[in-house]
Chain A
Amino acid sequence: MLKSLFDLLETPFNRAFGPRDNPFHHLGALTIFFFWIVLVTGIWVFIFFDTSVFGAYQSVEYLTREQWYLGGVMRSLHRYASDAAVITLGLHLLREFAHRRFQGPRWYSWITGVPLVWLVFPLGITGYWLVWDQLAQYVAISTAQLMDAVPIFTDSMVRNFLTESALSDRFFTLMAFLHLVGLPIFLVFGIWVHVMRLSGPDINPPKSLMIGGTTALVVLSLFHPATSQGPAILSRVPAEIGLDWFYLHAFALLELIPPGAVWLALISVTVALSAVPWILRRKTSPAIARVDLDNCNGCRRCADDCPFNAISMLPRSDGKPFDLEAVVDPDACVSCGICVGACPTATPFRRHSRLSPGIDLPDRSMVSLRQALDAATARYPGAIVTFACDTAGAGPDAPDAPHIPVPCLADVPPPFVDYAIHRRGAAGVFLLGCANGACRFRLGLQWTEARMRRERDPMLRGRVDLARVGFSWQDGDSAETAYQRLRERLGRAADRDREAAE
């Protein structure tokens, strides 16, 4: 249901931004990009920041009021980019959950993402603390109350923020260190660990989204600048506080339940999130890719295309005159078949020898794919053959056209498209990928398109007219529209051929 909701939301974005630039397809990268903005603007703000009890508020006020044209905008960008990052982070987490991207070997990316959430919030909280306005006063006291509920501390932390005499300048130095150096270093390290099992991780969003996102935040900063909430006066309690609900929502809970219960709630959510890959694990896992050394020449295309770094190229072990052989890591392979689609030996044209590629999926082999294609083209001669990935759904309503399921479109080696058209007489080939062009296996659609457009090995042979190949995810159109376009192209080509013949 959550996935359907995302599909529904993403469709208009796909049309407006295009599948490549759809912000929903780059939520993790957008989060990292917003943190880049936070870092750059934070450096500017820190240049003018005074790390003392009496200087902190005044220095931030100077930036906001006297230097509004730059410092004020920088401060606002600092805050709004942080808030935007929480939105994209939350959506990223929800979307990955909706697409069940925690199953199988992908548990690693899921579980390493959980501590990142824990790092982001202290980063925001310490930032609010440094301003030392009435909100900071509230944040300081509330944080101290939370810390006092942790049984490992023997002294009361809250006492440090109840009277002016108890407060020290050095405390601001410590907070500045945590906010500027300590937590960001852990965050960067955490992001590296989070993506280390991915091949070509998406850490930079497309340029159009960077420009659009930055422009939008600058406009917001100019028209609705971030301001402080009056200086902190510890002998007074602010009557009301404008809370940043993205970072400080846990403090609102403190008004309703005791600190111990807030900790319990936070820890429960963390444990539940961490347990998701095991609670919702698949009952059975598909068989992982298997290397057939007799047909592997160590070309390393499978390793280059694997989205999860599951294939290593190791020195040859069978005495054959090649340097390397492919070895599949069973703990990282997700059985997508993208490696099979990259294998140059996976060609259906072989008739005199067995179709046995250098790498193959035992449950969904190339032999069975060719059999399905042969059967489909025999039953529907001259029709459009649709290769559809498992998550693509029913696809275009075309009862007279065969529909061949594959785990991922990139599991279909380009020679199969050639074979369908030139050997089996198909009118064209329609490639039906995951909804809205968001590949379940990260890079499947990207590699498929590059291979078919002859930009990446193994390429589609030059004799195949690309007008006879349709992609469901192009231009942000629906699969039905893309299919109709292919039909129209094929119809026009047929008319031209007929006229030429006459």
Chain B
Amino acid sequence: MNHPTRWLVQILAYGAFLAPVAYLSHQPVMRLLGENQAMIRIAFSHAGEPISECRQRTQAELDELPPNMRRPTECPRERVPLVLVMRLDGDTLFEASLPPSGFWRDGQTTVSREFEVPAGTHQVEIRMRDSRRESGFDYQLARTIDIRPHDNIVIGFDPNQGGFNFSGSQP
């Protein structure tokens, strides 16, 4: 291979190497939402009630325990799963029983879900049961919101602030 040809092939080789760098560093684009779509996300962590009531230990049980572990009550570590229902304009968008985290099922339940919805005015309703009862809900919130295209509506939860909250919405 003579010198000019070698140079030419080298330039072509560098070009061939850079072409994927130039293109794949930002292309092809990924479409996250449709033109008239928006996103509703549920994102929070919350621990349900213990799976059962604490019970009093008998004197015989206490005597069997080492002195430093003689607590009069015995409480279960395991938590109940959270039952979560979300409805949009009367239709159920999400309904699930979400288990607590941890090997002993004694941690918080982490909820992270996202739903693509059309922009516009919607009635959003969310309910949650975190107790041992078999039916009904402990927390709920219903709100009519005006969602613009590409809005990111986040539904959070804070029991100290009264339960569910919305952010990024247009009430």
Contact of B25 among A138, A162, A246, A255 (CB under 8 A): A246
In the complex, whether B60 has a CB less than 8 A from a CB of chain A is no
Are B32 and A154 in contact (CB-based, < 8 A)? no
Chain B residues with CB under 8 Å of chain A are 1, 5-6, 9-10, 13-15, 17-18, 20-22, 24-33, 35, 38-39, 41, 43-45, 101-102, 107-108, 110-112, 150-152, 154, 156, 167-168
Pair A154/B112 contact, Cβ less than 8 Å: no
Q: In the complex, A237 Cα to B10 Cα: how many Å?
A: 44
For A475, the closest partner residue in chain B by CB is B1
Asked, given contacts A16-B6, A220-B21, A240-B31, whether A155 binds B45 with beta carbons under 8 Å apart, the answer is: yes
Q: Determine whether the beta carbon of B18 is less than 8 Å from that of A220.
A: yes
A-B contact pairs, 22 of them (CB 8 A): A16-B9, A17-B10, A80-B25, A84-B18, A87-B20, A153-B110, A156-B43, A156-B45, A159-B43, A220-B22, A226-B25, A235-B151, A235-B167, A236-B151, A236-B168, A237-B32, A237-B33, A238-B33, A243-B26, A243-B29, A245-B25, A255-B32
Q: Is A252 an interface residue (CB 8 A)?
A: yes
> Counting CB contacts under 8 A, is A197 at the interface?
no
Q: How far is the CA of A130 from the CA of B67 in the complex (A)?
A: 54
Contact A239 B167, CB 8 Å, known A154-B107, A162-B41: no
Q: From residue 209 to 260 of chain A, which have CB atoms closer than 8 A to chain B?
A: 212-213, 215-217, 219-220, 224, 226, 234-246, 252, 255
Q: Is the CB of B25 within 8 A of A237?
A: no
Closest 8 CB pairs of A and B: A242-B26, A16-B9, A235-B168, A216-B14, A245-B24, A162-B154, A156-B110, A15-B1
B43 → chain A closest CB, angstroms: 5
**Contact call A83/B13, Cβ cutoff below 8 A:** no
CA distance A80 to B14 in the complex (A): 13
How many residues of chain A get a CB closer than 8 Å to chain B's CBs? 49
Whether A239 pairs with B41 at a CB distance below 8 angstroms is no
Determine if A151 and B24 form an interchain contact, defined as CB atoms under 8 angstroms apart: no
Q: Which residue of A lies closest to B47 (CB)?
A: A154
A163 adjacent to B9 (CB under 8 Å): no
Most buried by A among B35, B44, B154: B154
CB distance from B137 to the nearest CB of A (A): 21
Kindly state the separation between the CA atoms of A239 and B39 in the bound complex, as whole angstroms: 11
Number of A-B contacts (CB under 8 A): 136
Q: What's the Cα separation between A217 and B41 when bound, in Å?
A: 41
Chain A residues in 8 Å Cβ range of B27: 242
CA distance A212 to B31 in the complex (A): 36
Q: How far is the CB of A30 from chain B (nearest CB, A)?
A: 10
**Which chain A residues (41-98) contact chain B, with CB distance < 8 Å?**
79-80, 83-84, 87
Which residues of B have CB within 8 Å of A202?
none
Answer yes or no: A472 CB below 8 A from chain B CBs.
Answer: no
A236 B112 Cβ-Cβ under 8 A: no
A145 at the interface (CB under 8 A from B): yes
The docked-state distance in angstroms from the alpha carbon of A163 to that of B156 is 10
Please tell me if the beta carbons of B110 and A237 are within 8 angstroms of each other in the complex: no
| Distance to closest chain A CB from B147 (angstroms) | 11
The answer to whether A83 touches B110 (Cβ under 8 A) is: no
Nearest B residue (CB) for A227: B26
Q: How far is the CA of A83 from the CA of B17 in the complex (A)?
A: 11
Assuming the A-B contacts A13-B13, A15-B1, A163-B168, are A239 and B24 also in contact, with contact meaning beta carbons closer than 8 angstroms in the complex? no
Closest to A76 in B: B25
A182-227 residues with Cβ-Cβ distance < 8 A to B are 212-213, 215-217, 219-220, 224, 226
Residues of A within 8 A of B5 (CB): 16
Which B residues lie within 8 Å of A84 (CB)? 17-18, 21
Whole-angstrom distance between the Cβ of A288 and the nearest chain B Cβ: 39
Residues of B within 8 Å of A245, CB to CB, are 24-25
Which one, A148, A153, A162, A246, contacts B24 given CB within 8 A? Answer: A246
Inter-chain contacts of B33 with A (CB < 8 A) = 237-239
Contacts of A162 in B (CB 8 A): 41, 43, 152, 154, 156, 167-168
